[in-house]
Each structure stands twice: as C-alpha cells, then as structure tokens.
Structure 1
C-alpha cells in the first residue's frame, strides 16, 4: 500500500499539507536536489502534516475555512532537528521529541476532521514526523549523505504555518498557507 501511495504521489490534482522548513535548506538542499524526487518536483524542505489530502477538485472555500479554523487553535512552535533517522530506503532529519509531538498533533487533528484521508493512505501505524532528505538510494549513498548532514545539525526552525500543496501534473505548487495560533492571538487581544 505504501508503494501505491508513493507511485500515485505525483498525480495531477493530488494534494498534501506540509510545514516548510526553510532553515534546513542550506544543510539539506543539495542532498535533496540529487536524492529526493519530491525536491525535483518542487517540494521544499518540509515535514509532512497530511498526505494525501483531498483531491484538488474537492478543495473549496469551505475546506480552506475549516483548515484555517482548525489550525488557528494550534500555537506556533520551535522545532529542533537534531539527528538523522532511517526508514527502509529513506534518510531523514528527525525533530527532537517535544516538537515531534506538536507535529503529530497537527496531523491527528486534520486526520480526525477528514478521516477519509488517513496519513500516508493508512499505510503506517505510527506517525513519525520527519524531513526527508533522500529516498530510493543505495546504502553507500545514504551513508555519505547522513555523514554530510550530521555536520550541519542541529537545525532550529520556527513552525508558524501549514501549507497546502497541489500537484499540477508536473510540479507541486503552494495553493494556500494557514497560520497557526490566530485564534489564540485574537483571544489574547493581539
């Protein structure tokens, strides 16, 4: 099932929700450009919040409003990516435990609101927040990339928005950005 999700990832109309991590680009950009097909298709360094999300044809003003409202109840936070991790065929940066919990809560809240779209199509039992650097490479390539990445850690990032990406058949494009914590700021008079 995970292979089916991966093979279908670049279909026109496919969408996903991510947290961009521009602070990681200096450390991971060159590796991702060579070793991660998503980077070559326009996806920036990121942590996936929910993929796949709704088909682009189903994303209307009501979905935007629901996402905005839901995400407004989650405060922005700081994430520290302090180590590398591996899944079969994947090398990634892992956030420290507390930010990982915050990423998981975002995923859980959106998946609860749209249960027809479980994380990664329901292929995995656990939600493991991560920033993919390389996938589908042989072990020696992954080991070189990991050794190169370790010299640039930790990476500290501010998490304040969740972006909606949609694939147009060629590339991923950002369609909307939803700020975290707007309801809390409004409630506090800011």
Structure 2
C-alpha cells in the first residue's frame, strides 16, 4: 500500500479497465443465456437458486426446484474443486510486513516484522551489497523523506520496462534520514527538534542526471542536500544507513532496483531522455514501518518563519 496520506498511487494500466468491462459483459451474457437454456435456473445467482429450492420444498414448482438445487450443488463443487489446488480455502495468509509500503523497491520482504529500507539504493560509489541490495528495516523504524510527485512518470516508465523493479503503489520519494527514531519515540519534542532544522520556504530541486549500476537506476536530488545535511546534523546520533555510506550520503530518488541488467540499461536511457525535471518540495514527511507496511506519522511544512 502507499503511505497513508502521502498522495495517490500510480493508476493501473488502461488494459485492466477494459479487461474488467469484458469480463463483466461475458458474465452477464452467460447468466442470461443459461437462464433461458436451463428453463429458469440461474448459472451464477446462487441466492436466487436457493430461493427456488425453498419454493420447491414448499410444494410448488418441484421440477424447477430440483434444477435449482442441482445448480447450487454444482456451484459448491466447482468452487471447492477450483480452490483446493491453490490453497485458497480458509483465511488468506497475511502479507509480509512492509509489503507495498514506502521504501526501496526490493523484490520482497523478510519474515518477522521486517520491510524494505526506504530510499536506499547503490549509487555508483556505493556497493551493490548496500541497503538497497536487500537490507531490511525493523518494525517501528522511522524515516524522514520528501515526496517527489514530479518523478512519478519516471517510475511509471521503469514499470513499463520491468514491473518487478518498481514497487506498485509506492510514491516517488527521497530519504533524507533513515533510520530516524523508533516510532514510539516520535513525540512533539522530537518533531519540534526536527522542525527547527528544516530550511525555510519551498525547495526547488533540479533532477538532471541518472545513476545506473547493475539493476539499480536512480536520479540524484542535489537540491535536497542542504536540507538532508541539516536534518542529519540535528540528530548526529542517527547516522544514515548505519554509516555504511558515510555520515552525509547523497540524496536520490530510486527509479528502479533489481531490474535485469539489460532492462536497467533501457530504463536508464529512457530516464535520461525525460530529464531535466524540477521537483517542488513544500513539506517533508515522517513515516514509520508497522505490521502492514509504511504509514505516515507527520507532515512538516517548509514554511517561512516571520522575520
């Protein structure tokens, strides 16, 4: 799922809508033809067939009732036969923690309350075994990030080349500080300390370059560097990514991660063709990893303080 309150998820492909319309039309047509061919028995409206069976038990329309009862029995047998091989009978299995939440576009999450690391991926000077290569975040972890809706077309472009390299529903973002505090320690004093460190006024960040290494494609966001440095300086005890990339690593938005090398090269070329872009950031966001994924904790507007 997308971060709650963090903006809309990317729209589904138009083909999905047409497929739904065709399936709806075909289901209605089959039901209408079946009703006529079976002498008043429905092929899919099980409630109506149950009612006809009850009428038959009352002594009226016995023949129709028998047909309706057979239709209900066939429906139950068909549903059970179809569900058994897939293991769909019974409660649905819970999703892995962090699945679909804000974070790195890794291909899965580990069990035991772990989820993908937000905004981490290996730029050219970072090794592919860094956080973006599979490091997982503990439940209760928080991050300070900026949403970049202007970069959404880049993620849609990447998904069109290799859907596995982009997490569906995850908004384009850049992490300024990860990890931050434990979620239960994000209180008003902590948020006030964070607000004091924020720059004054909206940030305009130019996205002009592409970083590509292996299956990773990213776009640096140098316009957020000053804000990231200020946030990190306000919490020196919280070193980004545990210090694996230094105390003040560059800020970027991940376009694709874990793509096949050939697909990543194509994504990088197409991304470069879409640049430059200008991102306008008027607020930062604090998100936390919960049992069902990343959720928004606070929005911090970048307002100008009165002189």
Query: TM class, shorter-chain normalised?
Result: 0.7 to 0.9
Distance in 2 separating the partners of 1:119 and 1:82: 24
3-state secondary structure, aligned to 2:251:
coil
Instruction: Pick the structure with greater CA Rg.
Output: 2
Matches within 5 A, 1:65-76: 65-71=192-198, 73-76=199-202
1:146 alignment partner in structure 2: 268
Please report how far the alpha carbon of residue 30 of structure 1 lies from its aligned counterpart in structure 2 after TM superposition.
5.0
More strand by share: 1
Is 1:80 paired with 2:200?
no
Shift of 1:87: 4.8
Structure 1 residues 48 and 181: CA distance shift in structure 2, 3 A: same
Q: Choose which of 272, 288, 294 in structure 2 pairs with 1:172.
A: 294
Output the CA distance in 2 between the equivalents of 1:52 and 1:159: 21
Task: Compute the TM-score of the two structures, normalised by the length of structure 1.
Answer: 0.80
Confirm or deny: 8 A CA contact 1:29 1:45 kept in the other structure.
no
Quick one: distance in 2 between partners of 1:14 and 1:129? 19
Counterpart check, 1:60 vs 2:182? no
**Structure 1: how far apart are the matches of 2:153 and 2:278?**
12
Residue aligned with 2:135, SS: helix
Q: Could you tell me which residue of structure 1 aligns to residue 130 of structure 2?
A: 2
Contact 2:146–2:175 (CA<8 Å) still a contact in 1? yes
Gaps of 5+ in 2: 1-128
Report what 1:25 is aligned to: 152
- Residues 53-102 of structure 1 show CA distances to partners (whole Å, capped at 9, x for unaligned) of 1110111111122222221x44322112112113564210123xxxx1x4
Q: How many equivalent residue pairs?
A: 175
Gaps of 5+ in 1: none
Asked if residue 47 in structure 1 is aligned to residue 174 in structure 2, the reply is: yes
State how far apart, in whole Å, the 2-side matches of 1:143 and 1:88 are: 8
Separation in structure 2 between the aligned mates of residue 108 and residue 22 of structure 1, nearest angstrom:
22
Per chain length, whose mean CA-contact separation is higher, i.e. which structure has more relative contact order (CA < 8 Å, sep 6+)? 1
Q: Name the structure 2 match of 1:119.
A: 240
CA contact (8 A) 2:212 2:264 kept: no
Matched residues in 1 for 2:133 and 2:209: separation?
26
Equivalent in the alignment of 1:13: 140
- Using the TM superposition, give the Cα deviation of residue 7 of structure 1 relative to its aligned residue in structure 2, in angstroms: 2.3
- 3-state SS in 2 of match to 1:83: coil
Q: Assess if the C-alpha contact under 8 Å between 1:2 and 1:121 holds in 2.
A: no
1:84-99 map, 5 Å: 84-87=210-213, 89-95=215-221
